[in-house]
Structure 1
């Protein structure tokens, strides 16, 4: 019978806050103050504590810290816009462009920024101190959940029906629509259709309202197509097929969502409808899709880096208890002219 015994497995004991305090020669309260930065700790003492943390490989219990301080040191960026629209194949869509600037600002405040997928319609279990919501729709599930929890929240775009309750950045959708429609008309489009989403976001509402007025002013029959955001490019493709079948005389389309616009270009190409000879197309967001599509799509520079700075500054102010003055206007957009409206265009820019 063998007397061999396998070596025992030694599980290292995790260092505790008390261990760090003992090693640094200070009280546990001082260690806590140094970690959480709630009170001033002398530099020499802080350095001893940091050295002890490194030597003992101490990992703070974040859940316990949240229970103790009531803070998660985290903010969230949310959009109920389907992934096919807000990011999609390029992974560099509207949401990602906002996220880059917001993340940098959050890091400067020693906060983490998390991105919440559009499919995650429940925010009840999010451990965050505040949130940014991108262009909420009517009865937006994210916005509703955040407000039920009384969390500080700021919206990029007017929150439909909640303008008096939720601080927001006014994206000036009506002004942008006026800019794009005037440009399409200048480029020779006499009969202009409109493709927008069907979720009642403020950008859709304001665009449709101005388009109706513009059509009436010019004696133009309004042709409005409400597309399902979930269908992404295919929604724009199918709408363009239907438009050309039913109204072949239409020679201009304002397509508010860049994803829809890319699908429409594909449809017109298959139908042998030349762009911009027979059809002029303009869209709103000047993202990577519109630049990589052929022909390149005339769009609008929304200055999302500036918008992101504005909205996160508002969120930080709200989180600190300040009262915000509303609304806050986004910077004036710039028209970026490409070949979808002008055959000789080389991505020139025009201020509103």
Structure 2
């Protein structure tokens, strides 16, 4: 990528400024209009090595700040050309009560060349030290993810569906958790399955389904090929929560229930469907399922036993990175259930 891939004048990113002048130029922004209020509840760093990511992510942050006040720091890196560093500042403003503009600061950096030290120092020096750091890493993990960087994060957001080698990348995630015991890991792949997991859990509140729980003998999951990690995470969640044992360690084709019953597993790729198309669980004459058709605006929950049927609907899960990020920021929490399934999920990936 050429150093001048971002135009000299780029309204999407705001005003280009020398890095040394960022703080002073930000103060000038607020002095220009006393009707604007600077609002910030967190530092949000968005990191990408994809060409054009700065402008794309500026649009995402503009919409995100309607609901989530933050100081946003956008970083795009290209390590294939000579070293350089450019910076821009802007503010995303939204009317509050129709009168006063509530604004969030955005600082954007475009770094080229070898950047490990420069990147870390550039980000650290522009964080609001009084606020938590939410770090959204887009794409493949890399050596830029250093111990020092991990040590200052409060929440680390990734999308494991985009990784070419999930097993190796999750080994890095485990190391991140070891280095920072309080770090909260959030994965877009896990968030994409929220309505499916809630649907299954609610269906098993039905007494008919509860009776069949010890007699489950098969699980079928249909998923889009790009989202196999989501399917495996749902499968792992079922096994962990139900107390199923692996028939063969790390092999996701069969489990054994607490009562010793063998549970067969069928995973089917569906390139025409959404990330998850269906999850079907059978046992003791009972079928429990959650499904979503391509383009549908709802998820269908269904339970069927001898002489009894019930169906209900729920919203679909978000799919775009911006929607997924918004949901993750809204829910907060420690994401302890995801941490709970990770060891078993990693074993599946490494099998």
Normalised TM-score (structure 1): 0.33
Larger-Rg structure: 1
Normalised TM-score (structure 2): 0.33
Specify which structure has the higher proportion of strand: 2
